[in-house]
Amino acid sequence: MKSHSRRNRILGVLIIAIVVFTAVISVTGIGSFKGLKKEMKYGLDINGGVYVLLQANTKEKGQDRAALMEQTKSVLENRVNAMGISEATVSVEGSNKIRVEMPGVSNANQAIKQIGKTAQLRFLLADGTLVMQGNEVKNAGFSTDSYHGGYKITMDFTSKGTDDFAKGTERAASGAVNPVLRDSDGNLVPATSVVIMLDDEIISAPNVDQKIDSRSCEIYKPGGFSKEEASSTAALIKGGALPASLTEVNSSVETATIGADALNKSIKAGGIGLLLVFAIMIIVYGAMGVAADIALALYVEIVLWVMAAFGAVLTLPGIAGIILGIGMAVDSNVIIFTRIREEIAKGKSVRVSVDSGFHSAFATVIDAQTTTLIAAFVLYLIGATSVKGFALTLMIGTVASIFTAVFVTQVFINIMAESKTLSKLKFFGFKEDGTKKVKFEPHFRFIKNRKIFYCISAAVIICGMVFAGVRGFNYGIDFTGGTMIQMDMGQKVNINEVKDTISKYDLDPTIVYAGKGNKQIVIKTIKALKTSERTQVVKTISDKYDLGSDAVLSSEEFGPTVGKQLRHNAIESVLIATLCMLVYIRFRFKNWEYGVAAVAGLAHDVLVTLSLYAIFGFTINNPFIAGILTVVGYSINDTIVIFDRIRENTRFYKRKEQEKLIDDSINQTLSRSIMTSLTTIIVMIPLFILVSTELREFLIPLMIGVISGTYSSIFLCSPLYYEMTKKGSKSRYVQDKEKRDRQKEKDRARAKARRENEGIVK
């Protein structure tokens, strides 16, 4: 026992040291590490980046040109994402231009080099003979090379590519080729080479010694490629050939789309929100709250450091994932603390209560977090770029929250329980006589009043459908496209002042800084402005700031960055994730009713969120997708906790009626539901107040989702489960027990009859 106690104290000291040390170097840096703020990669929406405007050189017209531009856009999206420029946005402007916005890039020339101005990928023999085009490569990647060391590049071909590559490698392997192509050093490539060329630049020239007629092949070299070399080469090959060559029109550096200095403001607001959560945990849970705060601090550090190590790009959807993760990390601790207090209230000692509390809470924590992890995993595998950013952050956060709650919190609570001073009841929320300091023992009749809640939900959804049908949704620039005007102001101007200057045109524009020294501005408006209307807007700004006739750098219509494919992809991801969660719940809870009720709650929360957007006219932009995903993740987490308590009570409270059993289960978890929702929203409040209008539009669906998710878990999912399982007034346990008893009675009767027939019973 003493050895166990000593081990916990050593672990506790070590964890605190790690938390403090990591916090310090996260801010100040150490050695070549410059601190998390500088090491992290950020999306264009948070920290700005580079945009490049490219013009397609094509003679296609009408629908053919539109299809060509969409295809070119798709190839560019694959290319920038494969190269690690995560969260890049690609949109069509006008009829023949494409704008690429790339976060984390501060040099326009570097950005152009990365995506390729007129990139055309070809496979050639050493004499310049074309073997195949880049679009005949189905996929390309890289992996470790166990034989040669380092990394190797892998390629998969289309059917045509397989045939063409077989013919080309057969000729190259023969060596009967007159080399004319030269590498970057001016040397002729070997006659046995298959040259992979991007535009006029050779990116690889591997030798072949035999015909390769399979659908895949590997490129390797003695000693192996470095990870960076293999990754970048595979990315260029995977990008494929562009349907049309592209020429740069202009490029510039833009500031964050959620406002200037958004990163510093977001860090400050996030820190304040986290401190408020720390304070609330201490106020509500006392010494146990301190343990939770240490675990929560380590949770935040783990998430941010893992993201930095993976090179993940932090964007608004990523912030949504972190906020949701903080809520779930707090939730895991609240579940554990609630269980411990319940055990103490039964008269058990603190030591026994801690052990029993952790044991009872473990299954609930794992079930709640696993369903969220399943959703995040599916979203990451299937989702598009912005969805992946949310899903990756959520996966990292979910795993970290399980570790910190189950392991770290347990270490410190065990230290308290083993200490003569800290194991006193007052540190666990009780008076010395064993009564609670603060009594919260609700006895609400949720099931009895369920029809009222059904009506409230139905009223909101029907009202939203009416508004959506009559007025429609307020789609933002990301969904509709619009007009873009870029102007050189000659100085850094106040963006809000520019908005006021053109407010009479009722454009509701998005304006960000661009160019060196932020002396340019980019105005985007959802309204498609005619040439005369653009002229009026430009004249108003020019008159205000005394600008010359050359102030306008570009003026174009641009397409939506959230296309049909992205919307379809997001919907498909959510549906598949929901199906996977349904299967898991069925497996863990042993019947479909829990899963169906939980999925009904998810559908309710999504519909309520959409309805409120329709009713109040909130703008639906790209971050809205992350908001809906947060609704799904939060709602299922909350519902599983309540269902887990219903399942437990069904097992232990055998004589209770179904209605009372469910009411008691909801009431027992009500404080936890309120606490989790409160802390999750509190993290958002400083961000809502301190940052910008654009960020507030992003936080609205998150707040709606948290409130709606809590509401559905308490007032909708559990009553729906009751509707599906009620048979008279008996609980499901009693029904199953009676069924088993009847079967046993039949078995006994059959056995008795068999013995009598055999003459055993006289």
Give the integer Cα–Cα distance in Å for 146 and 598: 46
Domain shared by 342 and 424, yes or no: yes
Residue 413 lies in a domain: yes
Partnered with residue 552 across adjacent β-strands are 487
Check residue 761 and give its pLDDT: 43
Query: Does residue 67 carry a pLDDT above 60?
Result: yes
Domain shared by 491 and 546, yes or no: yes
Give the integer Cα–Cα distance in Å for 222 and 338: 60
Q: End of a domain among 211, 239, 267? A: 239
Instruction: Round the average pLDDT of the chain to a whole number and report it.
Output: 79
Tokens of 756: 């009598």
Query: Does residue 26 carry a pLDDT above 90?
Result: no
Domain shared by 271 and 378, yes or no: yes
State the DSSP H helix or E strand holding residue 50, giving kind and residue range, or none if neither. Answer: strand 49-57
Residue with the larger pLDDT of the pair 697 and 12: 12
With cut-offs at 50, 70 and 90, classify the pLDDT of residue 736. Answer: low
CB 467 within 8 Å of CB 614: yes
With cut-offs at 50, 70 and 90, classify the pLDDT of residue 762. Answer: very low
Residue 678 lies in a domain: no
Domain shared by 186 and 131, yes or no: yes
Domain shared by 108 and 125, yes or no: no
Residue 496 lies in a domain: yes
Check residue 467 and give its pLDDT: 92
Tell me what the mean pLDDT of segment 428-454 comes to.
80
135: containing domain = 121-239
| CATH code of the domain in which 158 resides | 3.30.1360.200
With cut-offs at 50, 70 and 90, classify the pLDDT of residue 503. Answer: confident
State the DSSP H helix or E strand holding residue 158, giving kind and residue range, or none if neither. Answer: none
Domain shared by 308 and 419, yes or no: yes
| CATH code of the domain in which 304 resides | 1.20.1640.10
Check residue 631 and give its pLDDT: 73
| CATH code of the domain in which 547 resides | 3.30.70.3400
Check residue 106 and give its pLDDT: 59
Give the integer Cα–Cα distance in Å for 116 and 246: 8
Residue 456 lies in a domain: no
Tell me what the mean pLDDT of segment 183-212 comes to.
85
For residue range 318-375, what is the model confidence (pLDDT) as tens digits?
A: 776 777 778 778 888 888 888 888 888 888 888 888 888 888 888 888 887 888 788 7
CB 345 within 8 Å of CB 436: yes
Planar angle of CA 389, 395, 399, nearest 5 degrees: 150
Domain shared by 292 and 383, yes or no: yes
Q: End of a domain among 558, 575, 598? A: 558
Give the integer Cα–Cα distance in Å for 342 and 61: 72
For residue range 675-719, what is the model confidence (pLDDT) as tens digits?
A: 888 888 888 888 788 766 666 776 777 788 788 888 888 899 889
How many structural domains is the chain composed of?
4
* DSSP code per residue over 610-664: HHHHHHHT-EE-HHHHHHHHHHHHHHHHHHHHHHHHHHHHHHH-TTS-HHHHHHH
Check residue 735 and give its pLDDT: 58
Tokens of 618: 């909130």
Check residue 684 and give its pLDDT: 82
Domain shared by 180 and 222, yes or no: yes
Most confident of 58-72, 135-149, 506-520: 135-149
Tell me what the mean pLDDT of segment 249-266 comes to.
64
Q: End of a domain among 428, 460, 490? A: 428
Domain shared by 381 and 408, yes or no: yes
Check residue 3 and give its pLDDT: 62
Tell me what the mean pLDDT of segment 253-272 comes to.
69
Check residue 375 and give its pLDDT: 76
Smallest Cα–Cα separation from 681: which of 715, 706, 652, 714?
706
Each residue of 732-762: b (16+ CB within 10 Å) or e?
bbbeeeeeeeeeeeeeeeeeeeeeeeeeeee
Poorest-confidence range of 72-86, 230-244, 525-539, 589-603?
A: 72-86
Partnered with residue 132 across adjacent β-strands are 123
For residue range 285-320, what is the model confidence (pLDDT) as tens digits?
A: 888 889 889 999 999 889 888 888 877 777 766 776
Domain shared by 267 and 415, yes or no: yes
For residue range 613-636, what is the model confidence (pLDDT) as tens digits?
A: 889 888 777 667 766 777 777 777
Domain shared by 99 and 157, yes or no: no
CB 204 within 8 Å of CB 121: no
Smallest Cα–Cα separation from 210: which of 253, 165, 249?
165
Tell me what the mean pLDDT of segment 453-461 comes to.
93
Query: Does residue 420 carry a pLDDT above 60?
Result: yes
Check residue 100 and give its pLDDT: 80
For residue range 158-197, what is the model confidence (pLDDT) as tens digits?
A: 898 999 999 999 999 988 888 888 887 788 888 999 998 8
For residue range 636-685, what is the model confidence (pLDDT) as tens digits?
A: 777 888 888 888 888 766 555 788 888 888 888 888 888 888 888 888 88
Residue 39 lies in a domain: no
